[in-house]
Amino acid sequence: MPQDAPLNACMSKVNEILTSEESIIFSVSQTSIAGLKPDTVVLTNKRFILYHPGLLGCKFDDFLWRDLINVKLNEGIMGAKLTFEAKNNKITVDKLPKTEARKAYSIAQEKEQEANENRRQRQMQEDSAKAGHIVVGNVGAGNQPTTVADDPMAKLTKLKNMFDAGLITQEEYDKKKAEILASM
């Protein structure tokens, strides 16, 4: 059997499970020992996949890049080992050719950095949304939540804090307080 035959069989099966707009970026297979079918690491634009061929079928372990927490590369005398850590899972593949393992590691590092940046951006958006849309009570009349901006008590409290901090004068405080009370 030619050396590329197991890889071609793997890639054929992996192609069958790809989602729309998903494409393979890179793949690397373990060094075959004693004619056993090697595992293959497949990196796509959306996830990393470990293909395990077996006697009676195959198994896929796959994780979205956004779940990637860490990737490690260890090189030894006989080859390299890649370890992918996702939320509650860890995948380790050893006996990989060193050059190909380095390439896979490089791609995974880029994807890990993208995932970290996306998590950071999402956290900032969530924090911003929480800070700007604080619901003070239950849904009021008209099925609209009462926010700090609409609540007269919250407005008066904010106004008093501004006055106490010296941000506004007594005259400005009295004028705005009268406006808020009149709008009730």
* pLDDT confidence of residue 122: 86
pLDDT at position 78, please? 86
Structure confidence at residue 109 (pLDDT): 92
The domains located in the chain, with CATH, are 4-117 (2.30.29.30), 132-182 (no CATH)
pLDDT at 162: 80
Tokens 């009268």 identify what position?
Answer: 178
Residue-level pLDDT at 1: 37
Q: How large is the C-alpha radius of gyration of the chain?
A: 29
- Asked whether the beta carbons of 39 and 52 are under 8 A apart, the reply is yes
- Asked if 60 and 47 touch (Cβ cutoff 8 Å), the reply is no
Could you give the CA distance from residue 10 to residue 40 in angstroms, rounded to a whole number?
7
Kindly state the tokens that stand for 126. 């969530």
> Could you tell me the two tokens for 13?
């099966």
Q: Which regions of the chain are under pLDDT 50?
A: 1-3, 135-137
Residues 177, 156: contact at Cβ < 8 Å?
yes
Amino acid 145: pLDDT? 53
